[in-house]
């Protein structure tokens, strides 16, 4: 059985990350984002986002790519000290549907913790999750996240949707006790 490997993202990964992101959204965001957007525009839009984001090295951001064998299956992307109250932002955490429930999400969160601690960033961590994304909300609750506030957010398909800010007081909470 192939093993899970984690490695830092680089500029050459933009297409891989965009494909993972689009695949994740197409399975997890049905009923949240419009079907037309998910069927057509999502991949091109994600390619544009990730090409721009990864082409210039930015020390206030980093990402980790997960692969099983040679097959990319997920990623996490983190931005330093984005909020004065809630700290560092987990901007993206995605695992393709075929690889969900295999422990990849917790491993990616642990990799984010390592990067946050290593860079000496604010260890308070937060993210935004769509209200209707019950699977993700349940996962973040299992990982110790607290839903601390709700807000309407503009979605990439031009709609608005209800979101929750999920927060942790310390990124080290992502790492389960041994």
CATH number reported for the structural domain that contains residue 106 in this entry = 3.40.630.30
Give the separation between CA 161 and CA 156, rounded to whole angstroms: 10
Q: Which domain holds residue 85?
A: 4-122
Instruction: Look at the chain and report how many structural domains it folds into.
Output: 1
CA–CA separation, 41 and 97 (whole Å): 20
Query: Is residue 70 in some structural domain?
Result: yes
For the segment 84-102, the average pLDDT, to the nearest whole number, is 90
In a domain, 175, yes or no: no
Tell me if 155 is assigned to some domain. no
Q: Which pTM was predicted?
A: 0.92
Q: How far apart are CA 137 and CA 112, in angstroms?
A: 18
Is residue 24 in a domain? Answer: yes
pLDDT given for residue 177 in this prediction: 55
* pLDDT score, position 44: 87
Rounded Cα gap, residues 58 and 79, in angstroms: 10
As given in the structure block, the two tokens for residue 135 are 């699977």
């Amino acid at each position: 059985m192939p093993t899970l490997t984690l490695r830092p993202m680089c500029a050459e990964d933009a297409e891989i990350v965009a494909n993972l992101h689009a695949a994740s959204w197409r399975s997890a965001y049905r009923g949240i984002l419009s079907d037309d957007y998910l069927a057509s525009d999502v991949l091109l839009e994600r390619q544009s986002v990730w090409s721009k984001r990864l082409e210039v090295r930015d020390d206030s951001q980093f990402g980790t790519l997960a692969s099983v064998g040679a097959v990319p299956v997920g990623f996490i992307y983190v931005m330093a000290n984005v909020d004065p109250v809630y700290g560092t932002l987990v901007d993206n955490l995605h695992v393709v549907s075929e690889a969900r429930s295999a422990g990849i999400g917790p491993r990616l969160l642990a990799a984010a913790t390592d990067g946050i601690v290593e860079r000496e960033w604010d260890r308070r961590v937060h993210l935004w999750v769509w209200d209707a994304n019950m699977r993700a909300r349940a996962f973040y609750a299992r990982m110790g996240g607290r839903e601390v506030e709700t807000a309407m957010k503009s979605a990439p398909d031009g709609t608005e949707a209800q979101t929750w800010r999920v927060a942790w007081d310390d990124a080290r909470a992502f790492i389960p006790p041994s």
